[in-house]
Amino acid sequence: MKNKLAIIIINWRRYDDTVECLRSVKASNYQDYRIILVDNASDDGSGEKLAKEFPDIKAIFNKKNYGFAEGNNIGIKQALKDEAKYILLLNNDAVVGRDCLSNLIAVMEHEPATGIIGPKIYFYNANTVWYAGGKLNRLTGLTFHIGEGVEDRGQFSQPAEVDFVTGCALMVKSEVFERVGLLDKDFYHNHEDAEFCLRAKAAGFGLTYEPSAIVYHKLARSTGGGRSPFALYFKTRNHLLFQKKRGLRAPLFWPVFAWLVLKRIAGSILLLRPKGAWATIKAIKDFYAGNWGKGSGDEFR
């Protein structure tokens, strides 16, 4: 039996987070879905434990860690094979609200021009916004989340056209993947969502932020947080890679990027975290050496 929605969740050594994510999906008031759990070569038995606990899900066990982009691509290919109409990429450290899925599907069903949609995302167990739409600054070439870190007092309650939807909770019509391709595995982790969304937008698909759909996000549980050496490595390298893929059209990218690099190096040194400084430097070296994809990322986990 075909399901209208395929939900792809990547797991890597995070049983507690992934099981909470799965339970939130199971509690949803929308039930026409199939979960595709992609285990990225966890060595702690978490993938097997989850598959046993949730026998109705489709579990895929990778023989190596393919990262976020290619790990999701493996799930997307399965969803397309299953002929799902919609595909939701959902972080395993996210928790969906009870009517999140139904509200996203409703917009997709009634707005044919919308190819990609994303919910309002709060920090976990908080009323503080993490994502209320994604924008690209055309001057700097950098992306940012509308409302990030701001308490929600109703100012983010209107649907809006956006430049990108975060990969934390990214719902896509299957035809978008069929027309513009999958996530770019060169990114491995970070920026692959924005690059994919810009490709979709260039192909004529609408991208929508839908505030009636709610998700709570624990943030970077498997990567050590946004200031970890692992995160700094991929942020830095993929800032450059994102610009290369876009053709380096942002006039203020280089001065802003130089400032970010200096800030990351100095901040790591001041906090007595020299590995963060080295990760930032190594990221730049790897970009120019063409060492993309996983690159040296695992060195900084």
pLDDT of residue 2: 78
DSSP 3-state of 142: coil
Beta-bridge mates of residue 10: 38
pLDDT of residue 146: 98
**pTM of the predicted model, to two decimals?**
0.95
CA dist., res. 226 & res. 214, Å (int): 22
DSSP 3-state of 103: helix
Q: Residues of the chain whose pLDDT is less than 50?
A: 224
* Residue-range domains of the chain with CATH: 5-217 (3.90.550.60), 229-300 (no CATH)
Q: What are phi and psi of 175, to 5 degrees?
A: -65, -25
pLDDT of residue 246: 86
Closest CA to 152 of 171, 172, 133: 133
Residue 103 tokens, joined: 């509200």
pLDDT of residue 222: 53
CA dist., res. 216 & res. 198, Å (int): 25
Q: Is the separation of the CB atoms in 163 and 142 below 8 Å? A: no
For the chain, the first-to-last Cα distance in angstroms comes to 41
